[in-house]
Structure 1
């Protein structure tokens, strides 16, 4: 499993040493670790070169793709689940065309209008979003789910009852739901 934390729309500088978006993903890693206890599952995180998406450069997506290549070099042809928050959710969805990717769990993802979906045919996608999120749009996530389904993805939008963008209110529910979905993807594809 690869974790992809959030970031900014624009930020060519490297992430700071104390990277709060990356730290926010640690409880998700711990929850997945508990959910797959006793199974041979590697949990890793993508290290971004830049703090932001950076327009057409799509730096976070390129970093996710590079991480998938490195994972394949180290672990061989293993199935991978991508778990990403916000910009990391966008990067996970962009990188999901890689043949190793079994599925994506996108948490309050950033899904701009017109984001490509044709590469997602045959992939399982779960987009979790609190409709009161004021940073990224739940409506844009549900639109992405509809378009991904039309492209052949097995996609589901999962409304979350609380949490906002940072997923702090009701955090345990977010952690548990993401862990359950990730474990299911790793078990059944």
Structure 2
């Protein structure tokens, strides 16, 4: 399938992080953050910010054959109706199918990449979506609200810091609230007093991400907090607090630096 691209730029998949030795049983596509408007190429800093999480996911899913790829956008800007990162995420899901066949896919993004993951969830290969501090438009403006119909049939986890000054956490709550009406498989965790990069609780966020990915792609039993968040009606399941020390009895989650944008 031909890649979608601008004049000289095309979307690309980075090399698989710690690729599985046996066959691929599932894939995570990591979508870096970006900016609202820009024709510049992808941001190396935004991509680098996701590499610790990529390594953590690859190690945790190695036995299952999890392939973890970073998506390199054509441009870092969302650019209005062009929604470039979302189109690139769809292309990346096509590429996973071309390379690995019919395997389950999780779209995972931070900031603008979280918005792209949510927007591209309708791709037939996508089973789940992880949006970390998604940078969504204010639903109080004249612009149409972000669509949610594409989330039907997908399992969705949104994580947002309550002190995020770059991406209004209430925007992700309102989107999750609308999505939950038609899809029970939506939950949202709030990280109290944390900011946009989710740095204060990066270990807990990283382990929550691992639990969600392994549970949704490979059927691993989900820990009780995730089960409760999925099962609880709004607003409880959409304002689930991420407790300090989440998963500490299972060891550390490793370092994750978060992302900006």
TM range (shorter): over 0.9
2:242 corresponds to which residue?
none
1:10 corresponds to which residue?
37
Structure 1 runs, 4 residues or longer, greater than 6 Å off = none
1:134 corresponds to which residue?
165
2:7 corresponds to which residue?
none
1:108 corresponds to which residue?
133
Secondary structure in structure 2 of the residue aligned to 1:38: helix
Aligned counterparts of 1:184 and 1:65: Cα–Cα separation in 2: 22
Question: Alignment partner for residue 33 of structure 1, among 40, 47, 58?
Answer: 58
Matched, 1:84 2:115: no
Gaps of 5+ in 2: 1-27, 140-144, 221-261
Tell me the alpha carbon deviations over residues 156-187 of structure 1, each in whole angstroms, 9 at most, x when there is no partner. 01111354112222221221111111111112
CA drift of 1:62 comes to 0.6
Q: Please say which structure displays the higher CA radius of gyration.
A: 2
Gaps of 5+ in 1: none
Partners of 2:191 and 2:198 within 8 A in 1: no
2:236 corresponds to which residue?
none
2:206 corresponds to which residue?
175
Partners of 2:162 and 2:194 within 8 A in 1: no
1:186 corresponds to which residue?
217
CA drift of 1:151 comes to 3.0
Secondary structure in structure 2 of the residue aligned to 1:96: helix
TM-score, normalised to structure 1's length? Answer: 0.93
| Cα RMSD, aligned residues only | 1.4
Tell me the alpha carbon deviations over residues 93-143 of structure 1, each in whole angstroms, 9 at most, x when there is no partner. 011001111101110012222100112111110000011011101111111
Partners of 1:120 and 1:153 within 8 A in 2: no
